[in-house]
Structure 1
Amino acid sequence: MSDYTTISLRKEFVADVEEYIEDEPFGSVKEFVKHVVVREMEADDAISETEASQIARKLRDLGYMD
């Protein structure tokens, strides 16, 4: 038996993702996000701490993160 957790995302972000994946082979936002996260975890291209901070700042500025 698997345990699950819930991740909260802003409704606006989810709507943007739904629009983005409309013509893609993903059945749901959850499926798409899982695909992207797994792909990034398996990628050899690591980002620096500075790049991660810049990305987080941009996401906060866009309202996707608190």
Structure 2
Amino acid sequence: MSEYTTISLRKEFVADVEAYLEDEPFDSVKEFMKHLVIREIESDEEISTAEARQIAQKLRDLGYME
């Protein structure tokens, strides 16, 4: 039996993803997020330290990180 955990996302973010998914082949936000994470894990592309900092700052500005 598999065990699961919960990831909390802002409702506004989930609503934006759901709106985006209306024209995409994914049945749920969960399925789409899983696809993105797996694609990123399997990707050979690396981001630079500067890009990582920019992403982190954007996430902080949006309230997803402290």
Q: TM bucket by the smaller chain?
A: 0.7 to 0.9
Residue of structure 2 in register with 1:51 after alignment = 51
TM-score, structure 1 length as denominator?
A: 0.88
Mark the runs of 5 or more structure 1 residues left unpaired by the alignment: none
In 2, the alpha carbon distance for the partners of 1:22 and 1:59 equals 24
**1:34 correspondence with 2:12:** no
Runs ≥4 residues deviating over 3 A: none
Question: Which gives a bigger RCO, structure 1 or 2 (Cα 8 Å, sep 6+)?
Answer: 1
Which shifted more, 33-42 or 54-63?
54-63
Could you say what the CA RMSD is over the residues aligned between the two structures, in angstroms?
Answer: 1.1
In 2, the alpha carbon distance for the partners of 1:8 and 1:49 equals 26
| Residue correspondences, number | 65
- 3-state DSSP of counterpart to 1:52: helix
Task: Quote the sequence identity (%).
Answer: 74
In 1, the alpha carbon distance for the partners of 2:49 and 2:10 equals 25
In 1, the alpha carbon distance for the partners of 2:48 and 2:35 equals 22
